[in-house]
Amino acid sequence: MAFTLNIGAKAIDFKLPATDGQTYSLDSFKDSKYLVVFFTCNHCPYVVNSDEITRASVEKFAEKGVTFVGINSNSKNTYAEDDFEHMVARMKEHHFPWKYLYDESQETALAYGALRTPHFYVFDEKRELVYTGRGVDSPRDPSKMTVNDLDRALEELTSGKPISVPLTNPIGCNVKWEGKHKHWMPEDACDLIW
């Protein structure tokens, strides 16, 4: 089995606390037609510099039934600013239009096979994976962006079209795994496409 969820795989359940004081599971979003789960964090420049692009996608597709859920799985012992308190402060400052969940045990990141921050997973109405990978082709420097893969996938999904490019390599910092060097990745974690 590949490290990262395969296209067509079912969304995996989770039960995680969020910055709004609530605890969320997959069932919390059952009223949403489509679901985007993305692994993110507080400090990564690829995340920080592309968050406004993600915000624009959330706002663009909200009326088409798409809900976004951000999950921070980074070890606070690798980067202290990735702890829950900093998550709460970041949401308070930026008012991002998604739920921001904390995966302190990293079990959800492992279940999904999150590779980098950000790493997006798009699920259809059956909660089957139809797209995974990057949001855009230049998240660290959006001025050089030429492709928004996430928007394209969501446009196709919400229009009832097949996803033309279901798989891309996420671009960003690797997930910071507890007890490991900050650049460590699991042995079976590799690029999604070559």
Domain chopping of the chain, boundaries: 9-174
Is the Cβ–Cβ distance between 162 and 156 less than 8 Å?
Answer: yes
| Whole-structure pTM value | 0.96
Mean pLDDT calculated for residue range 6-14: 97
- Residue 187: CB partners within 8 Å, gap ≥ 6? none
The alpha carbon dihedral of 171, 49, 79, 59 has a sign of: negative
Predicted confidence (pLDDT) per residue in 74-99, tens digit: 999 999 999 999 999 999 999 999 99
Does an H or E element contain 100, and which?
Answer: strand 99-102
* Model confidence at 17: pLDDT above 50: yes
Which fold would CATH assign to domain 9-174? Answer: Glutaredoxin (3.40.30)
